[in-house]
Amino acid sequence: DSGVTQTPKHLITATGQRVTLRCSPRSGDLSVYWYQQSLDQGLQFLIQYYNGEERAKGNILERFSAQQFPDLHSELNLSSLELGDSALYFCASSVAPGNTIYFGEGSWLTVV
């Protein structure tokens, strides 16, 4: 157990809908990362936050957004969902940028 908690573990939703994935980082970690894992794209970095502020953006679609709250938990919002958004979404955290990154077990999203 890495200490990074993600909910929900599984989610099935219809095209066009909006979902929110939630992440609690390891105790003491200030930096949160979101990744998408799919068969065709592999592991893709989406976005990083540090202590509530956005630090870096990767291949995140405009339909997706994220935030990190004062208690350091983070949410990834996915809207106008398409079939191709079906993937495993990972949250990860580290004490600070540059430290080892630890991953949660992911949220499986299926768009039908």
Partner 1 sequence: AQSVAQPEDQVNVAEGNPLTVKCTYSVSGNPYLFWYVQYPNRGLQFLLKYITGDNLVKGSYGFEAEFNKSQTSFHLKKPSALVSDSALYFCAVRDMSLGQAGTALIFGKGTTLSVSS
Q: Does 58 bind partner 1 (CB under 8 A)?
A: yes
Q: Does 98 bind partner 1 (CB under 8 A)?
A: yes
Q: Cα torsion for 91, 96, 98, 104, to the nearest 10°? A: -20
Nearer to partner 1, 27 or 100 (CB): 100
Residues 11, 40, 106, CA angle at the centre, nearest 5°? 35
> Rule CB under 8 A: which of 63-82 touch partner 1?
none
β-pairing verdict for 107-111 and 10-13: parallel
> Rule CB under 8 A: which of 18-47 touch partner 1?
31, 33, 42-43, 45
